[in-house]
Amino acid sequence: MVEAAEGALETCGWCGKTIEEDSPVYGCGLKVRSPENFQGKAGELIKVVMPRTGQVFLAMVPAEDSEARKEGHDAYVMVCGRKCMKALTFAFAAEKSGLHVVRNDAV
């Protein structure tokens, strides 16, 4: 079980669509090349940008003692459905230069 940061279950991390209450959500764990970019952000919902495409998405940074972290995930994205999960997974796999936290843009 992943403990969600505030707001994480109401918005698809990939497409930004509002997720209706009682609707299923899907989780996608990510392992990043530079996890130090997420240092000090544990338990927070952050905006992340894929430098190659410019795609911005929302991700939770798992707490150190969370199941997501124990499973090796540096970030966890809640999405509204399988279509967004596949799109995120594909885009993430194609990204060569790593991810960057959008530091000046509050979620």
pLDDT digits 0-9 by tens, 24-81: 888 888 888 777 878 888 888 888 888 888 888 888 899 989 898 899 898 889 899 9
CA end-to-end span of the chain: 23
pTM above 0.85, yes or no: no
Q: Cα–Cα distance between 38 and 24 in angstroms, integer?
A: 27
